[in-house]
Every structure is written in C-alpha cells, then in structure tokens.
Amino acid sequence: MNYDTNITLYGLFLRAAHEIHYPQRDYLFKKEGGSFQGMSYAFCEEQINACSARFVELGLQKGDRVSFFTENCPEYFLFDLGLQQLGLVNASIYPTLSENEVEFIFNDSGAQAILVGSPFLLKKLSKAAPNLPNLKKVVTLFDDHKKSWDDPRVESWNEFTQKGKEIYPTQKEKVKTMYDAVTQDDLATLIYTSGTTGNPKGAMLTHKNFISDIASGLELMRIVGKHDSFLSFLPLSHVYERMCSYYLGLFAGAQTAFAESIEKIASNIKEFKPTIVACVPRLLEKIEEKVKKNVEKKGGLSAVIFNWAIKAGMKRQALSLLGRKPGMLLNLRLAVAEKLVFSKVKAATGGKLKFFLSGGGAMQTNVAEFFANFGILILEGYGLTETSPFISVNPYDRQRIGTVGRIGPGQEVAIQHPETLEIYTVQNFDSFTPGFACPEGEILMRGPNLMKGYWNQPEETAKVIDKDGWFHTGDIGNFQDGFLKITDRLKNIIVNAYGKNIYPTQVEANYLQSRRIEQIFIIGDKRDFLTAIVVPSKTEVMEIFDKNEAWFAQNETWVSDPEIVDWIKQDIHKLSNQLAKFERVKDFVVKREPFSIEAGELTPKQSVKRKVVEQKFKAEIDGMYERTAGE
C-alpha cells in the first residue's frame, strides 16, 4: 500500500486541482435550472479560501472544532475543506437528531461555528442556542435566515463567503502558515457514533486514518480514477459517505454530484450518469423489487424473455465463480440478453456505472446475485466509524457474493472466540489462503485507519481497544477462503430457552426477501420460540388492498385487518421453510408505520434500537407469547 505520508485532506484537493487536473475543470455538480451545473476547481478553491479567512478572523486555532448541521450539498465540501486547510476539526451532526442530541454533540465537541442547511434546522438550533455557550458563528445555506432566527451571529453562505473573499488577501499568509503546520497525525473530524443506548461517542479520526484507509481500499477496488464520478446522497455526517464520495473521490481526482433528495435518486442517476455509487443495501433491494414488479405487470412474452435472459446471466455467474469463461453458445445468448433485457436495466443506472459500492449494513445474497446476473457489479464492503470506516471490500476482479471481501492492505483482522477469548486466526492482505476457513467469533482489527479513541472518554476507549492494540468491533464473523463473512452483532445474538444461538440479522434478511415486508424485528432471547414485529410494504398494501395515505396516518399502531395479516402470513410461512426450525417465526404482529429515528426506534444509521423497541412494545410482545405458548 503506497501513499504520500505527508499529504493532508486539503492537500488532496490541491493535488486534484493542480496536478491531476487543472483549475478550470468542473469538480462539484448541483442540480439547478433543470440540469446538473458544475463548479470548477478554481471556483471551489476561491470559496474554500474565503471560508478559511473567516475562520481565521473568528480567532479559531488548529484543533478547534466546527460543526455541520445540513443535508448533502457542495457547500459541505467547501466548508469542510476550508477548515481542513487550517487544521480545524469537523464535528458533524445528523440533521435528523433531536434538539437535545444537537445540544449534546455541539457542547461535547466544543464547536464554535456551525453550517446549517435549512430554516427547519436553524429553528431547531435556535431553540438549543441558550445552552450553547461556545457558539460564535452560524452560517446558513439560505438567505432569509432572519425569519427563522434573527441573531447577529447568523449569516447566509453568500454573506459569509463574500466577506471572506474581501479579507482573504489580508489573511493569506496566516492561512498558509496554518496549512503548513497541519500533519497527517492531526485530528480531522469527530464522528459521533449513534449507538443504541446512552449518549453518542465522538470517534477521533485523523488525516492519516482517512488517507491510509482510502489507499488501502483503492488497492482492492483498483479501477477508481480521475475520469470517474460519484453521486452523493448518503449522509455526509456519517463516515461511510464522507470517505467514499468525498475523500476517496478527491484522492482519485473524481467528480461528485449531489442528489436533489432521496426521492429523486433514481432520476438523478439517469441524468448525471455516475460511474460509481456508494449506497446501502436497501437502495439495491428497492431497485430489484421495482424491476421484478415491472416484469410481473407486463407479463406475457416480456416475462418469458426476461426470465430467459436471467437464466443466461445465472450461467455466466456460475462459470465466473469457477474461474471459467462462457463458451460460444452462451456468449451468443448473453449478447441477445444484453440487447433485449440487460441494457434496459443498466440504462436505469445511467449507462456508465462501473459498480455500486455497498456498505452500512448487511446485503442479502439474493440481491447481489440478482444484479450479478445482469452484469451489474456490486462491491460489498465492511467497516465501522472507528475504522475510518473501511476494513474489507470485495476486489473488483474477484468477488465472493455473501462476504464483505478481503482485508485491506496495511490492516490486520483477527477472529476471537466470544467466550474463551482465544484468537483463532489473524488475517491480512497477504495471507489470502484458498480453502482456509475458521470458526465464528468476534472480529478484531488493528491498522493505521483505527481511530485515536473516543473524544474525552478514555474509559470508553479502553473498553474497545485492548492492550495489544486490537479494536473489538462487536461483530461476529469468520473467514472463508480469505474472504470475511459477517454473521451479526455480538450484542444482537439471541440465545433461546434451549441454548440455541440465533443471529437475528440473518433471520430478518431471510424474511425481507418478501416484497410484502418493509421491515421486520425478531424477538426471542431466553424464549421458547421466535416472534416478530412486521412492517408491511406501503406500496404493496396501497396497491393490493386499495389503501390511501389516510389509512397509514391512523393513530392505531397495530394492523388487525385479517386480510392483510393473512397476506403477510403467507410469505412468512413460505420463507420459514428456508430456516432451521428454531429460527422460524411462530407468531407476529403488524405495525402500521415503519420504525423511525423520530420515534426513537432507529439510530441515524437505521439500526433498530433493540432494547428500546422491546421495552416500548412489551405488552404486544408478551401477548404473542401468551397466546401462542399453548399451541
């Protein structure tokens, strides 16, 4: 793994603007006036310097924290690069967090300035403001901020950067002196882990953490370069999107466009035609569901041709896993399938896509196989906030569906028995061994991408990083032929009344193959059998049962309509046959509305807060066991 051990995150921007490309080349893209409009490196550099000048004017020093409270946008990059140039620290806040959580993160980080994305978020900040003693400056991405909060500390982005341009000549030397003093060992960001209990913890990540991690990932992905482009839509307050579409893109000299919203991702992909899209498994699941649904609606000859093409793709995929290439007849069939079916599906991704990079959660094997049959590549990876985040990813030229790939160069991963604490094996990039497998255990990791620790919480740091430098991920997994496979979170493991270990994530993934199920939450720790809370697919319910928005907005939490319950039961029974008897759901209740962050049921990463949900719906859960126990 080779990378410049002196370059910093802002140095990546300068290299992209002046060495990989040229200042007039477009770097960032935003949808305006009906099309994606580009911003050149030169324009971006001017804006970055304006931000840096204002930070200097505010008296901010190396190591001081600046916060972000906004959705994805070009200004996030520019504001961040303005502070990275000076050695300041990004302390982002998820836009979905409550006022109390915003207050906690802002004060815990000791931030002094903040970028705010909308009037709604500004109002939320203004309510917390009396309890934010360090707040010096608020910059809004809209002009009429006085309607939401009339305070002298608040300026619009245009006001902030215009003044910054005016004063930059007087601050230029100070900016350069501060930039020259920044090293790879300096803190770049505090990323607050959501956690399922207690207050979030700020993972301290350095310039070196990110840059070493990017270089490691690129060695496996290989084909990311200066002609590539990303579409950014996952939250930049999370480490995954920050590393992929932002810092990795800068490292490679790639361009980045910003999706208008989650709802418009499908149209934005077609318009911008990115070559790489970092996503979560749920997006891919929705694409699969939409394609299959369209085929079902058309039926007839269209369905016959589609299924014929899919079978050709399956044969190609089977040969690929054996290291073999298709023969002449299969190649001919694939060429026809490409023209009639595959090309149309690929067109929905813009037609230039090299691969989807999937992370942030477990992907169902059947989803990866579905895309592989079309010749659409998904590189599934794995990592955590504390590891910057990349630990492993499937190589571009050697995927293993159902795994999260190989360990990145420069890192070590160990598998430790959860009870005896014996380390079964230590694997790294060079220890790839075909045929090698080891028992399941907790995944441990160490390497240059591991965080410095948790901000102001040495005791919490000591709980996860042991004396030998191993970071305890809390995930269970094993190695198969040198590829890492994740089973579940250690704390999620259900041990039933008979001592059987059950991995709920795997069980839930099995049932999520049903288009009728949007979310499912498995219960069963120390119980005789499994039960579940099921959230039905809104789209399917509206279509099949002719329900409208008002039906979903009812105050009644639970759906008792026997037709809907039986409809879901059909798929529960069918999919249960793919599981061991002790893994099968014996009873369930149907929840009208999805689990949400707003209701306190999900973390910002969309992980269910298991203890919260079990306590919140204790009466319904106990009721399932009472009525089913005697059956």
The residues with which 258 forms a beta bridge, in sequence order, are 30, 232
Q: Residue 531: its pLDDT value, please?
A: 93
Query: What phi and psi, each to the nearest 5 degrees, are found at residue 586?
Result: -95, -25
- Report which of 210, 207, 336, 229 is spatially closest to residue 274, judged by C-alpha positions: 229
First to last CA, the chain: 60
CB 375 within 8 Å of CB 409 = no
- Report which of 466, 457, 459, 488 is spatially closest to residue 475, judged by C-alpha positions: 488
Q: In which residue are the tokens 């931000």 written?
A: 51
- Report which of 378, 312, 372, 377 is spatially closest to residue 339, judged by C-alpha positions: 312
Q: How are strands ordered across the β-sheet holding 585-590?
A: 517-523, 530-536, 585-590
Q: In which residue are the tokens 């399917």 written?
A: 540
Q: Residue 553: its pLDDT value, please?
A: 86
pLDDT at residue 196 is higher than 60: no
Please give the structure tokens belonging to residue 489.
Answer: 């979170």
pLDDT at residue 629 is higher than 80: no
Q: What is the DSSP letter of 388?
A: S
Q: Residue 96: its pLDDT value, please?
A: 84
Please report the beta strands in 158-308, taking only residues with DSSP state E, as ranges in sequence order.
187-193, 201-206, 229-232, 255-258, 276-279
Give the domains, in start order, of the chain with CATH numbers.
Answer: 9-182 (3.40.50.12780), 493-628 (3.30.300.30)
- Report which of 594, 384, 407, 411 is spatially closest to residue 489, judged by C-alpha positions: 384
* Three-state SS at 415: strand
Q: Residue 197: its pLDDT value, please?
A: 53
CB 398 within 8 Å of CB 252 = no
Q: Residue 207: its pLDDT value, please?
A: 97
Q: Residue 630: its pLDDT value, please?
A: 55
| Average pLDDT value for residue range 155-182 | 97
The 10s digit of each residue's pLDDT in 262-280 is 889 989 999 999 999 999 8
Q: Residue 32: its pLDDT value, please?
A: 92
CB 234 within 8 Å of CB 210 = no
* Three-state SS at 523: strand
What is the 3 state secondary structure string of 427-448?
EEHHHCCCCCECCCEEEEEECC
Report percent pLDDT > 70 for the chain. 97
Residue 342 banded pLDDT, cuts 50, 70, 90 = confident
Report percent pLDDT > 90 for the chain. 56
| Average pLDDT value for residue range 423-446 | 82
Q: Residue 91: its pLDDT value, please?
A: 96
Query: What phi and psi, each to the nearest 5 degrees, are found at residue 538?
Result: -60, -45
The 10s digit of each residue's pLDDT in 498-531 is 778 888 888 888 899 898 999 999 999 888 899 9
The 10s digit of each residue's pLDDT in 436-466 is 777 889 999 999 999 999 999 999 999 999 9
Please give the structure tokens belonging to residue 491.
Answer: 């704390």
The residues with which 533 forms a beta bridge, in sequence order, are 521, 589
Q: Average pLDDT over the chain, rounded to whole?
A: 90
Please report the beta strands in 33-75, taking only residues with DSSP state E, as ranges in sequence order.
35-40, 65-69
- Angle at which helices 119-128 and 99-109 cross, to 10°: 70
pLDDT at residue 398 is higher than 60: yes
- Report which of 407, 485, 406, 480 is spatially closest to residue 447, judged by C-alpha positions: 407
Q: In which residue are the tokens 């590549």 written?
A: 377
Poorest-pLDDT segment among 40-54, 258-272, 305-319, 376-390: 305-319
pLDDT at residue 603 is higher than 60: yes
Residue 249 banded pLDDT, cuts 50, 70, 90 = very high
- The Cα–Cα gap between 375 and 314 comes to 10
- The Cα–Cα gap between 82 and 76 comes to 10
pLDDT at residue 24 is higher than 80: yes
Q: How far is CA 80 from CA 94, 161, 188, 505, in A?
A: 15, 13, 10, 35
CB 228 within 8 Å of CB 218 = no
Q: Please, which contacts does 496-503 make with residues 24 or more away whose CB atoms are closer than 8 Å? A: 496/524, 496/525, 496/526, 496/527, 496/528, 496/529, 496/530, 496/582, 497/526, 497/527, 497/528, 498/528, 498/582, 500/582, 502/530, 502/582, 502/583, 503/476
Residue 320 banded pLDDT, cuts 50, 70, 90 = confident
Q: How are strands ordered across the β-sheet holding 26-32?
A: 35-40, 26-32, 255-258, 229-232, 276-279, 355-358, 378-383, 390-393, 406-407
CB 309 within 8 Å of CB 332 = no
pLDDT at residue 300 is higher than 90: no
pLDDT at residue 172 is higher than 70: yes
pLDDT at residue 195 is higher than 70: no
More confident residue, 418 or 391: 391
CB 217 within 8 Å of CB 247 = no
Q: Residue 145: its pLDDT value, please?
A: 86
Residue 493, C-beta contacts closer than 8 angstroms, at least 6 positions apart: 476, 501, 502, 503, 504
In single-letter form, the type of residue at position 219 comes to: E
For residues 248, 251, 255 and 260, what is the CA-based torsion angle, rounded to 10 degrees?
A: 30
